[in-house]
Structure 1
Amino acid sequence: MIPYGRQDISAEDIAAVTEVLQSDWLTQGQAGPRFERAMAEYCGAKNAVAVSNATAALHIACLALDLGPGDSLWTVPNTFVASANCALYCGANVDFVDIDPRTYNMSVTALSDKLAQASIEGRLPKVVVPVHFAGQSCEMTEIRALAGHYGFRIIEDASHAVGGEYLGRKIGAGQLSDIVVFSFHPVKIITTGEGGMALASDARLAERLAYLRTHGIVRPVQTNPVDARRSNEDRYGPWIYEQIELGLNYRMTDIQAALGASQLGRLDAFVARRRKLAARYDALLAGLPVLCPWQHPETNSAWHLYVIRLRRNEIKLSRRQVFEALRAAGIGVNVHYIPVHTQPYYQRLGFSVGMFPEAESYYQDAITLPLFSKMTDAEQDIVVAALTKILS
């Protein structure tokens, strides 16, 4: 079976992990801070906070922005449920903004219209979470302008997009948002096994993210060492820690961080290979009754996913029949994503089918084809040959 995604682990990655395993620190040593500094430098960001997974990053990002009961977060239906669940963890409400029919990202037009109506009704969101679907950035300049007008905060869910670019800058730089979130799940661009990261330009916001991931604890000697050295009081002793807020245990281990830092050294190569494979798919699929992914000229995708849409009016098979035929042929296709608002839990919250038609229309046609950095041209030819045979 050719999977839709697969990690790429090298001998150097294994050596980096082994070095940590043979050290005195398996967690909370120096590997985590090194990974954070390296990622911040790569992205051109000021601060990075490594966490146990991207869902954890989304959660503490919401907490750091003081999202809570009575507040509302808006995101898109075309995403994994974590992009919406993070608001519910904070006791806040969730609503959705429909997607752009070309990029499958948050529609700026739909967002603008919804904000205008919400302003009249007094129900503006506190936080908006644009999701960089498949690795392509949302139109962040326009979203940032709307944030300036309506006063909401922005969390970029860039779980798919590490290594991607927007307006010539790396995604993660954070110049157009408050916090950017990455995922390092094995099927993503680089992996730490499980893991995530939150990047923020504001130092105080980053500091809050850091202690929220560690039980809400700070150590006075670390945060204010000069005063601590001057004081002989026990309350400033080197063993002292203080819980200043109700935080969580969302820390990344040194084992994971060592793997992530090693993978980061090959990130550009991974993305370059994915872009080459995506361009090759575009060429090989020309002439088939499918719609290939459209790319906004302001973006340069990291290509986490390659999603086609079936032109169902031109073929006799249903999406399910095509999907199952590809699986039977040894092609590990997938579907990204079932619209969040159609999930049973969200329907119990009051959402229903028909509320976000673009996301629902997209979902009816979508199939994710295999794409990963170790994929060979021969494997890609097998995928295309199988799809061609099925559709013909």
Structure 2
Amino acid sequence: MPGGSHRVTGHNNAEDKGVALKGKMGVSGLSLDTLVGCYRFVGLHSEALLVSGNGAFLDPPLRRGDTVYLVGLSRSLQATSRKSVVTNPYTALNIGSADCPRYRATNMEVIELDTDFGITFSGVLTDEHGRVQAIWGSFSTQLKYGCSSSEDHQFVRGIPVYAISQVLDKIVSGANGSILLINGVKRPMPLVRILEVELYPTLLSKARSFGLNDKWVQALVKKDPIRRQVLRVKGCLAGSKADKLLEQGDMVLAINKKPITCFRDIEDACQALDQCDENDGKLNMTIFRQGREIEILVGTDVRDGNGTPRVINWCGCIVQDPHPAVRALGFLPEEGHGVYVAR
């Protein structure tokens, strides 16, 4: 996926490297079996997700100062493990829009390490027992120089494993979406409920200057004394159920009276709607807007992750329904939501 995409690369050839690896793994503290086990792939849509050999994902999330092992393949396809330390497990991604609408990662926290392994080394972050804690994958953003020139730039960060395990659990346990062939087995893809709003964090010290009162500052600090932040609305995807309800600059204080401090809180609140039979898919959100605290019911959307299912090539133009990157620009024609044309 272009734009702010992320990907995980690798090859299941660790067993072929067994002779070269024996005797080397003692340095890092990880056995060859652990390395081989970490390279069992489960396909999801067009992406490949890495899971540990025994299916063990580690929760709770990583903390600053934790020791991790980056297990992956080098440029020469040699299975390798490197020891490192987490410097920031809560870095919020900020990837701007590209010249042409294309996928970019939003509403995501990533993990930073104290060692720069370069952009060609990817894999998984594990603990000393080989339990997967994060995916180590690459992101792409577009850097602009002057008024007309731009250049794609890649960087590598850790993607917390909870973002992967939630979807995998639904696939393994059975889902109600469309069928996809995974490793020779037909499995239904999960339907995921999301709030189609782009958010960004603001420090509470800055939020106070915008008028947020001490009561809410203390409540948010008590909920999350590490991040000490509040989420603000950057924009809504056009055509979403949240469109026209949330406005740019709104501070999301709580959902169902529970304080909200990070993207995962939003995701958990959306997933909780699926656990309750008696709901209309709406979140009861407490918002701080222009000096006033208000409560509002905001609808959520259900997506299958299949992207664009149909395109038409007409007179050299590729015509399709507006995909999320187009809708993220915040505008769609009022009648029928129009089409997106690329050439």
TM over 0.5: no
Tell which has more relative contact order, 1 or 2 (C-alpha 8 A, sep 6+).
1
Interval containing the TM-score (normalised by the shorter chain): under 0.3
